[in-house]
Structure 1
């Protein structure tokens, strides 16, 4: 019986494919598969990192991340894990749990919402102050799992870092409160605050608004009609007039005037930051100050 050349070639091809599949599934091929996967590993780049909101409890940030796919196949994953470090201090660990699809030899940009809580931020600020740091490494490690043909299921881990100014949070202090409003002859109160900018670059605060409340008895609101300019590592005193919007002065005025020691207040300032720092520019800031009226009165006496 004569066998055709075509049939012989087909049999040889089947044997070679079978041997290749057997070898690929064997443990001895793991290193080769790893090298093949590493040569075509996706990479990540940070297009932007911006702070959106700052308050005493948390800092809300937003980062645009671009993932490049050099693989000969599309990447489809349902979850992207990421960890943020500031000078090797881990400050955020979270996941982006939306489907991500990247075509072969293409890229995709996604927006990662981030929230930095007060506790890890306090460690970073202490690290900055203790070491007199002016700039810091902001690093991101991202990872996701995807089923890659030939290489099988694989976890890709990508790292990226940027050198940026060491960001410090501005502080505010109530310097003086004019209690003439409580004499029942006027309908407002003058408040003076000191804003301190601990950063190495100047800041501007616009669209300022504030609320000054004394316990549950009195609340006053006000707005700033001009932009506040605060020099680098400097302070700026700001005088504001607040109007009564809630509460009864008749009922609470005498108690407040005679019992300043135990009378607490809350001052809340909100504004938009203008800065040469790309990361901080156009962010919203909220600053709170709590204390007693007696503390303000004593501070005014010491200043005089």
Structure 2
């Protein structure tokens, strides 16, 4: 019975090879990129949500372990991300699969000469993998698909602008966030958690837009009562975590901005 089953599979696979109208008979595996969206922006990266569809036309389940996401600019690969996992492609089924990938903004700024002087750049995003089929029947099957995506040029810089004592027991801290490219942005409500010498404060910060397009993030409700009135002069460790939404010109949705930084 085992050999009969293998023989039947061999017939199906050989039909894929010999039949000149493979596409018409739907016996060829396919890969299609459904969509790519920017899911988040940090100090170091632009995060991408990628949705793909893979059709398995064969009578066996196939386990897919590696998917490569390549990013091209002007026909040159500038970023590659090997996504590993264990994805099972059911027999005779088209499966929608979600992938997470990221672009290093630091690398982009180094590699692309005009990265900081424009608002966005066209990148070709390619998804590619080898479909592992039974070697004694057909061997491996390579699939790839790509789309062009205009990605905003984001290279955020975050600095501590000032920190001052305010009687009776408050600290006012001002941080500045700036995009070091031509792309403009706005920010929504800013949720923060700041750690001063291992004492945590959290809340909602105010923001003020400056003439240069940057934003001052103002934390003026940090009460020193829990760490002592003399703590300000002894602060040596400052950690800030920010969660907000960033709205980019030309992109009709808000993108999460989430990062941590030590000062």
Looking at structure 1, the residues matched to 17 and 114 of structure 2 have their Cα atoms a distance apart, in angstroms, of: 47
Give the unaligned 5+ runs of structure 1: 1-20, 25-29, 257-262, 292-304
TM (normalized to structure 2)?
0.70
**Residue 206 of structure 1 pairs with residue 188 of structure 2:** yes
Looking at structure 2, the residues matched to 34 and 246 of structure 1 have their Cα atoms a distance apart, in angstroms, of: 80
Q: How many residues align?
A: 242
Change (3 A) 1:122 1:199: closer
Change (3 A) 1:62 1:215: same
What SS is found at the alignment partner of 1:123? helix
Aligned to 2:256: 284
Give the superposition deviation at 1:197: 2.6
Change (3 A) 1:144 1:229: farther
Which range moved further: 157-166 or 74-83? 74-83
Give the structure with the higher percent strand.
2
Aligned to 2:107: 123
What SS is found at the alignment partner of 2:108? helix
Q: Please list, as runs of the form range in 1=range in 2, the aligned pairs for 1:17-166 lying within 5 A after superposition.
A: 33=17, 41-56=28-43, 60-68=47-55, 73=58, 76-79=61-64, 81-86=66-71, 87=73, 88-101=77-90, 103=92, 107-114=94-101, 121-129=105-113, 132=117, 134-147=120-133, 152-166=138-152
What do residues 87-132 of structure 1 show as CA deviations (whole Å, max 9, x unaligned)?
21133112341212263xx74321113355xxx5532231235565
Looking at structure 2, the residues matched to 276 and 107 of structure 1 have their Cα atoms a distance apart, in angstroms, of: 36
Give the structure with the higher percent helix.
1
Aligned to 2:228: 249
Give the unaligned 5+ runs of structure 2: 1-6
Looking at structure 2, the residues matched to 277 and 246 of structure 1 have their Cα atoms a distance apart, in angstroms, of: 45
Give the superposition deviation at 1:79: 0.7
What do residues 213-270 of structure 1 show as CA deviations (whole Å, max 9, x unaligned)?
3333x443330367x7799x832334332333884224634545xxxxxx34233322
Change (3 A) 1:250 1:200: closer
Looking at structure 2, the residues matched to 129 and 230 of structure 1 have their Cα atoms a distance apart, in angstroms, of: 27
Looking at structure 2, the residues matched to 35 and 249 of structure 1 have their Cα atoms a distance apart, in angstroms, of: 81
**Residue 224 of structure 1 pairs with residue 205 of structure 2:** yes
Looking at structure 2, the residues matched to 230 and 64 of structure 1 have their Cα atoms a distance apart, in angstroms, of: 38
Looking at structure 1, the residues matched to 164 and 20 of structure 2 have their Cα atoms a distance apart, in angstroms, of: 73
